[in-house]
Amino acid sequence: MRTVYVNGAYLPENEASISIFDRGFLMADGVYEVTSVLDGKLIDFDGHAVRLARSLDELEMRNPVSKDDLLEIHRELVRLNGIEEGLIYLQITRGSDGDRDFAFPDPETTEPTVVLFTQNKPSMADSPAAKRGAKVISIDDIRWGRRDIKTVQLLYPSMGKMIAKKAGCDDAWMVEDGFVTEGTSNNAYIVKGNRIITRHLGNEILHGITRAAVLRMAREAQMEVEERSFTIEEAQQADEAFTTSASAFVMPVVEIDGVTLGEGLPGKVAMRLREIYLDEMRKTAV
Ligand code: PDD
């Protein structure tokens, strides 16, 4: 059984609880982060801590945990649960004032809820899915307009994964006004020759922590990086495609809406970036 963290306490998962009036539960009034663990260490912890602070700020929510304490809690959960490879899920909600009301409760009297738990994933780096490559389908992006805030409103992304699954695919890429925004839980890229193309930052997509690292590494490896929108048609004609996220790192994409890319195998650029990313992140893990 896992040991989880709830509002200052480390507890067995079946003894942890929060209020039924918690605004995360009633209103999806909460934000989250997913940080990966390799060799028992945290990958890009700083990036996730900075984005968490920004998400809270954008929602006028108080940050109840200092960065140092947050690091300590992450490390303690890794230790208590013996995680060598896996994920740490963190969620902070606006808490509960013991009732349901659309208006925010007074932050002076209502404490945010802080929950963290681990997910043990032994073959995350040596992933069979990454060796095969993912098949994606496109779906309309009907999410709200502030996708740059990492909120827990994940119903549509969850439905998107189910639509993909029913179509025999692994994931869905979302399309708005004719252009790809991002994957259901990852950022989307195409590759043309030595050029990597991914949507520019804005309110329309989550500013991926893995995206920032991978783009930096691509530039350092003398690849060209173009941050602009692209269509599904352009993606289908690209040499390669891939996605990035804290949970899947760099994941090659081999099929888009039934069109096979190249030979239908993970592309060279995607595989090279996956290798560079994993190598470098293992070295800088905390
Ligand atoms: N998802 N875009 C969306 C919509 C996401 O949900 C995620 C991450 C990303 C990639 O961000 P990062 O590189 O910081 O993980 C992009 C996490 C992993 C999840 O929901 O499980």
pLDDT, one tens digit per residue, over 47-65 is 999 999 999 999 999 999 9
Give the distance (Å) from ligand 1 centre to CA of residue 10. Answer: 26
Task: Find the domain containing 41 and state its range.
Answer: 3-120
CATH of residue 53's domain is 3.30.470.10
Establish whether 150 is a catalytic residue: yes
Is 155 exposed, middle or buried, given 0-12, 13-18 or 19+ CB atoms closer than 10 A? exposed
Ligand 1, CB cutoff 6 Å, lining residues: 34, 182, 185-187, 206, 208-211, 244-247
Choose one of 95, 120, 145: the last residue of a domain.
Answer: 120
Q: Are residues 144 and 274 in the same domain?
A: yes
Mean pLDDT in residue range 240-258: 98
Give the distance (Å) from ligand 1 centre to CA of residue 273. Answer: 18
Q: Are residues 93 and 168 in the same domain?
A: no
Mean pLDDT in residue range 165-173: 98
Give the distance (Å) from ligand 1 centre to CA of residue 91. Answer: 14
Structure tokens at 254: 């081999």
Which one of 87, 91, 187, 277 would you pick to mutate in the ligand 1 pocket, going by the greatest count of ligand atoms within 8 A of its CB?
187
Ligand 1: nearest atom to the Cα of 184 = 4
User: Which member of 67, 121, 150, 165 is catalytic?
Assistant: 150
Q: Are residues 143 and 100 in the same domain?
A: no
Give the distance (Å) from ligand 1 centre to CA of residue 245. Answer: 5
pLDDT digits (tens, 9 = 90+) for 140-165: 999 999 999 999 999 999 999 999 99
Which one of 198, 245, 247, 278 would you pick to mutate in the ligand 1 pocket, going by the greatest count of ligand atoms within 8 A of its CB?
245
Q: Are residues 142 and 108 in the same domain?
A: no
Which one of 176, 203, 206 would you pick to mutate in the ligand 1 pocket, going by the greatest count of ligand atoms within 8 A of its CB?
206
| Residue 258: pLDDT band with limits 50, 70, 90 | very high
Q: Are residues 136 and 276 in the same domain?
A: yes
pLDDT digits (tens, 9 = 90+) for 107-149: 999 999 999 999 999 999 999 999 999 999 999 999 999 999 9
Choose one of 104, 120, 136: the last residue of a domain.
Answer: 120
Q: Are residues 23 and 99 in the same domain?
A: yes
> Nearest residue CA, atom 3 of ligand 1?
185
> Nearest residue CA, atom 6 of ligand 1?
185
Q: Are residues 55 and 107 in the same domain?
A: yes
Q: Is the pTM of this model over 0.85?
A: yes
CA proximity to 110, closest of 153, 47, 61, 158? 61
Q: Are residues 92 and 72 in the same domain?
A: yes
Q: Are residues 157 and 204 in the same domain?
A: yes
CA proximity to 150, closest of 88, 208, 64, 229? 208
Q: Are residues 105 and 175 in the same domain?
A: no
Per-residue confidence (pLDDT) for residue 260, from 0 to 100: 98
CATH of residue 159's domain is 3.20.10.10
Give the distance (Å) from ligand 1 centre to CA of residue 263. Answer: 28
Q: Are residues 105 and 152 in the same domain?
A: no
Q: How many domains does the chain have?
A: 2
> Nearest residue CA, atom 19 of ligand 1?
185
What does the alpha-carbon distance between residue 33 and residue 48 come to, in Å, rounded to a whole number? 7
Choose one of 68, 95, 120: the last residue of a domain.
Answer: 120
